[in-house]
Structure 1
Amino acid sequence: MHTVWKGSISFGLVNIPVKLHAATENKDIKLRQLHKECHTPISYKKVCEGCNQEVKDEDIVKAYEYTKNKFVVLDQEDLENLRKENEEKAVEIIDFVQLTEIDPIYFERTYFLSPDSTGAKAYSLLRKTLEQSGKIGIAKIIIRSKEQLAVVRVYQNALVMETIHYPDEVRSVGDVPNIPSEQDVVPKELETALMLVDQLTTTFNPEKYTDDYRNALLELIEEKKATNTIAASDKQRPIPDNVTDLMTALQASLDKTKKPAPRKRTTRTKKNA
């Protein structure tokens, strides 16, 4: 399992060397885009709008737009130093709270925590402490140059870390349009709705739920493979790499569009008989 982050977690004077691993994966089926005419894959290039030229990665800098068309350029070395400075810090559990106190809207992504070679005992101690207390830990961690608020909790026999949004990242419900105000509910309708909920209430079993759309799409792809498979074109349009080649191509295009010159008529002189 790929290691996303390596560091340590501490609570009080207990320090646990750990590794972070993504606990979930995206199962979306990725579809490529082809040119309808020749079935060549469509590519996307980074183009400078001012120069109208393709830009290489080494020619790109990062900047913050603090007002319209006004930027502060951020040096890559400064960003790297800032990232390392924060990543090297141990993740400290700041508080312990009840899981039920956090609304699911705050949760973002889940990671498995595994102990490093010297951290098994401390890892087990934190796991048992969380199990018996019924609490979860609140911590901060830097992942991919972003400081994340996170919770540490027990899942089955492992510790997991779930990144959560900061309060200012969750939009206000007041901004949601067309939410009806409090209205009187007909008692009979409410009674019927509660009966329906009661009839559909069961124990949560995640294995019961499947992605029907993804399964149907996979079946469709398998059917199409037998009757409708195409090979992507490997044609590559020649790209001039210097001014001479560009001028040659332009001249050839110009010559191709020229109309042939009309043939001159020759007049023959009649010989005297």
Structure 2
Amino acid sequence: MKKVKIGGVPEHFNLSWYLTLKNGEYKEKDINLRWKDYPGGTGDMCKALREKEIDIAVILTEGIIKDIIAGNPSKIVQTFVQTPLNWGIHVAHNSPYKNIEDLKGTKAAISRYGSGSHLMAYINAQNNHWNLEKDLKFEVIKNLDGAVEALTNGIADYFMWEKFTTKPLVDQGVFRRIGNCPSPWPCFVIAVREDFIASNKNDLKAILEIINNTTIDFKDIPSIDKTISNRYKQQLGDVQEWLSITEWSQDLIDKKTIINVQKELFALNIIPEIVEYDKLTYKL
């Protein structure tokens, strides 16, 4: 049986992987797919791909594009979630900050440099016409638990993370959300190490076929809203709202989107150049 290692964030977006693993669907194809949670997010997974800790990552589009350009020997083989990510902009519950403009020049908590929370801080700054050199400061906090600690103790001032994942912390009075910043592109893609693609095309095709069969009808799974609510400790109404605005994809990310992401990252000095579509993607 072929052992394949995959990583992703422990969030509701990835429930379809859990369901297919629980059903033993990969084993039927003689594949031992092993999932690893990465609470630290995209920066953590980029490192894991580079160090061959995992073969496949379900990862933020902007983060993996940046890292492939920086030398990560991986390729995007498919879009996973077509819709943008809704990034909530959070402060500590008792923070003096009331709106986004109050955050200008303060310190953003980020999971690590090159992560989504880091890159989206630039997008938010640009959206609000801040000076990208003077008005952005960062504190590395590793993950959501680190963000709670940093904001509560005043080590950092605000934290950008997926709105619905952090909603329970808002409900509990740990965080206060003062704004939103949707990513201007499809949020999650599936990236695979180049050496793995070269030697495991059939296994990779089988894995994608299984997950795509689940995501294409994901919203029609009986009581899926209740399952997500229970597993991720989210309110049922929030889950239903999230399901209503989220669309999965079974296709390779298109050329226009790849160029748009790069143009945005290049304008923000996050990447040094705009590269060809084929440098970032691989069509199976």
Instruction: State whether TM-score is above 0.5.
Output: no
The alignment's TM-score, normalised by the length of structure 1, stands at 0.20
The alignment's TM-score, normalised by the length of structure 2, stands at 0.19
Decide which structure has greater strand share. Answer: 1
State which structure, 1 or 2, has the greater radius of gyration over its C-alpha atoms: 1
Structure scoring higher RCO (CA < 8 A, sep ≥ 6) equals 2
